[in-house]
């Protein structure tokens, strides 16, 4: 009798599953294979002080650059338990205090690691903002581009991303208006060729309230979102939609502005293609990291998860999930977080587009937040920048949190 009851219950549950095509086909996480995917080969994110922890591509090394002295590059191997972090300098007796040291950076504002070289913004002795390249293997350094300091003012970099040999830098210029005594901020986004230093103005924002976030690109195109940052649904309207006050965060509220758009722009012609817009259900996330890999862009429109091929412009829906909180491309797969409207009952999904398979992860039994907050990856591991932790990919897929390495 008992067996029969279980069979009936199973049948009911199976029927329930079959009727809802959005449920994953496979839930056995041990079947997920590490892709050894050559992640983010052509897209390198710039980090600002306090977060400069980045993986060496296709290795398990992690670099750190601190914002306080000594402002030098450190290297750490999370597979080694002892003496984990050392200056990235092979000069005998070096005190790492100036540019004769291959690990020395000095005062910096943004830094990225791209094809075994470091690119960082900083100031020369006359407070001119520069983008500098450092090859730590031979300590070759050069200024890639420099802006002349404005009269009575200063430039400051506010974003850096490198994609296919081009650095894209957003910068604020703070010139003092002599007549009014006020500072008027001008925000501009530049595309700078790392090889020849050609500098191209991509966008001049109407004012500092508007924004232009570059996600990545190819040799010919860049992908970005355009949005207004001060035009969100009020807390009262948010609550009147049946949502909780605690879920009222900028990244979860669709901006009201009609011009929020996900755009692909041809670098040469400046022609823009709108991939998706807020009025069609596109949801902008303030977290732009790891939305592109292998020339594929992942984005969300309503309950649809789209994979957009940047080169061919082919756009396909890979899955349907409601209340998607965030998504990334990690290890050649799309990692997605969902929860109910009150940000409870969180679920973690992985979609492997190579095999068209969807998996649900156990998330260590945690239904409130991601137990290991994935930000980026090394060859064999995942990194949580906020928690400064590293976990082997296979352990993450198999819900084993016993061997998490705490980084510096």
> Quick check: 88 and 73 in contact, CB under 8 A?
yes
Do 299 and 290 touch, CB atoms closer than 8 A?
no
Q: For Zn ion, which is the closer residue by CB, 102 or 381?
A: 102
Q: How far is the CB of 104 from Zn ion (least distance, A)?
A: 6
Q: Is 113 exposed, middle or buried (0-12, 13-18, 19+ CB in 10 A)?
A: buried
To the nearest whole angstrom, how small is the minimum distance from the Cβ of residue 162 to Zn ion? Answer: 25
58 vs 139 by CB, closer to Zn ion? 139
Query: Residue 311 Cβ, how far from Zn ion at the closest point, in Å?
Result: 42
DSSP bridge pairs for 277: 261
C-alpha count within 13 angstroms, C-beta hemisphere, residue 180: 6
Q: Considering the complex, state which of residue 52 and residue 278 has its C-beta at the smaller distance from Zn ion.
A: 52
How far apart, in whole angstroms, are the C-alpha atoms of residue 245 and residue 241? Answer: 11
Q: Which is nearer to Zn ion, 89 or 293 (CB)?
A: 89
For the bound state, the minimum distance from the C-beta of residue 73 to Zn ion, rounded and expressed in Å, comes to 9
Q: What angle do CA 376, 377, 381 make, to 5 degrees?
A: 135
Provide the CB-side half-sphere exposure for 184 (13 A, CA): 9
Q: 70 vs 153, which CB is nearer to Zn ion?
A: 70
Name the residue nearer to Zn ion (CB basis): 107 or 280. 107
User: 222 phi and psi, to 5 degrees?
Assistant: -125, 150
Looking only at the bridges linking them, the beta strands covering 315-320 and 304-309 are antiparallel
Closest distance to Zn ion from the beta carbon of 134 (Å): 12
Provide, rounded to whole angstroms, the least separation between the CB of residue 137 and Zn ion. 13
- Please, which residue, 52 or 336, has the CB nearer to Zn ion? 52
C-alpha torsion angle, residues 317, 322, 323, 328 (rounded to 10): -30
CB 188 within 8 Å of CB 171: yes
Nearer to Zn ion, 94 or 233 (CB): 94
List all residues 6 or more positions away from 406 whose beta carbon is below 8 Å from its beta carbon.
Answer: 388, 389
Using CB under 5 A as the criterion, which residues of the chain lie in contact with Zn ion when the complex forms? 89, 91, 94, 96, 101
Residue 408 CB, nearest distance to Zn ion (Å)?
18
- What distance in Å separates the CA atoms of residue 194 and residue 116, rounded to the nearest whole number? 14
Residue 113 C-beta: closest distance to Zn ion, Å: 18
């Amino acid at each position: 009798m008992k067996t029969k009851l279980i069979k009936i219950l199973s049948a009911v549950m199976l029927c329930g599953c079959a009727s809802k095509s959005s449920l994953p086909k496979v839930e056995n996480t041990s079947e997920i294979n590490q892709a050894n995917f050559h992640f983010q080969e052509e897209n390198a994110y710039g980090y600002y002080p306090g977060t400069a922890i980045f993986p060496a591509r296709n290795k398990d090394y992690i670099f750190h650059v601190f914002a306080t002295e000594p402002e030098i590059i450190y290297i750490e191997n999370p597979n080694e338990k002892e003496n984990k972090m050392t200056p990235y300098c092979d000069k005998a007796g070096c005190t790492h205090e100036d540019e004769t040291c291959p690990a020395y950076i000095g005062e910096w504002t943004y830094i990225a690691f791209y094809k075994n070289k470091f690119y960082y913004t900083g100031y020369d002795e006359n407070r001119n903002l520069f983008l500098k390249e450092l090859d730590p293997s031979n300590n070759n350094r050069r200024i890639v581009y420099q802006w002349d300091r404005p009269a009575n003012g200063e430039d400051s970099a506010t974003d850096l991303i490198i994609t296919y040999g081009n650095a894209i830098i957003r910068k604020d210029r703070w010139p003092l208006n002599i007549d009014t005594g006020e500072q008027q901020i001008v925000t501009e986004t530049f595309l700078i060729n790392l090889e020849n230093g050609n500098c191209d103005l991509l966008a001049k924002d109407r004012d500092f309230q508007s924004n232009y976030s570059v996600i990545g690109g190819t040799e010919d195109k860049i992908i970005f979102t355009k949005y207004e940052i001060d035009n969100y649904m009020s807390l009262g309207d948010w609550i009147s939609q049946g949502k909780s006050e605690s879920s009222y965060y900028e990244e979860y509220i669709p901006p009201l502005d009609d011009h929020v758009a996900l755009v692909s722009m041809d670098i040469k012609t400046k022609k823009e293609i709108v991939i998706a817009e807020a009025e069609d259900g596109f949801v902008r996330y303030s977290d732009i990291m790891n939305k592109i890999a292998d020339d594929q862009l992942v984005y969300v429109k309503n309950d649809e998860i789209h994979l957009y091929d940047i080169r061919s412009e082919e756009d396909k829906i890979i899955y349907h999930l409601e209340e998607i909180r965030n998504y990334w491309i990690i290890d050649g797969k799309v990692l997605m977080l969902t929860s109910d409207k009150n940000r409870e009952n969180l679920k973690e999904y992985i979609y492997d587009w190579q095999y068209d398979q969807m998996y649900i992860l156990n998330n260590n039994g945690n239904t409130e937040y991601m137990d290991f907050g994935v930000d980026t990856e090394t060859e064999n591991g995942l990194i949580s920048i906020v928690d400064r932790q590293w976990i082997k990919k296979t352990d993450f897929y198999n819900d084993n949190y016993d061997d998490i390495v705490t980084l510096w």
